[in-house]
C-alpha cells in the first residue's frame, strides 16, 4: 500500500482500487466547496483562509484528474 499526499492530508491509497481513492477525494472536494461557501456567506470571512481553501480544492481537482486518467486509459483509435 502506498500513500498519496494531498496538501496537508495523507490518504492511504490501495493500488488495486484507485476508484475508492477518487471517491474520497471527491468527497473532500465537495466538503471544501461547502466550507468556502459558508465562509463567504458570513460576509466578513478571512480572505486569506478562503484563498488557502481554494488552492487546496484546486490541488484536489488535479489529483482527481490524475487518478481518473489512470483508471480510464487513453486509447487512440
pLDDT the model gives residue 13: 52
* pTM score: 0.71
> Residue 29 and residue 18: Cα distance in Å, rounded?
16
Identify which of 5, 15, 1 has the alpha carbon closest to the alpha carbon of residue 63: 5
Mean pLDDT of 9-27: 76
Q: Are 31 and 39 in contact (CB under 8 A)?
A: no
Identify which of 34, 23, 35 has the alpha carbon closest to the alpha carbon of residue 60: 23
> Residue 66 and residue 22: Cα distance in Å, rounded?
10
Mean pLDDT of 50-55: 96
Amino acid at each position: 500500500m502506498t500513500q498519496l499526499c494531498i496538501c496537508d492530508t495523507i490518504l492511504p491509497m490501495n493500488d488495486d482500487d484507485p476508484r475508492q481513492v477518487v471517491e474520497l477525494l471527491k468527497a473532500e472536494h465537495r466538503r471544501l466547496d461547502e466550507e468556502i461557501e459558508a465562509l463567504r456567506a458570513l460576509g466578513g470571512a478571512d480572505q486569506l483562509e478562503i484563498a488557502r481553501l481554494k488552492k487546496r480544492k484546486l490541488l484536489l481537482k488535479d489529483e482527481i484528474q490524475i487518478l481518473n486518467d489512470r483508471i480510464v486509459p487513453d486509447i487512440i483509435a
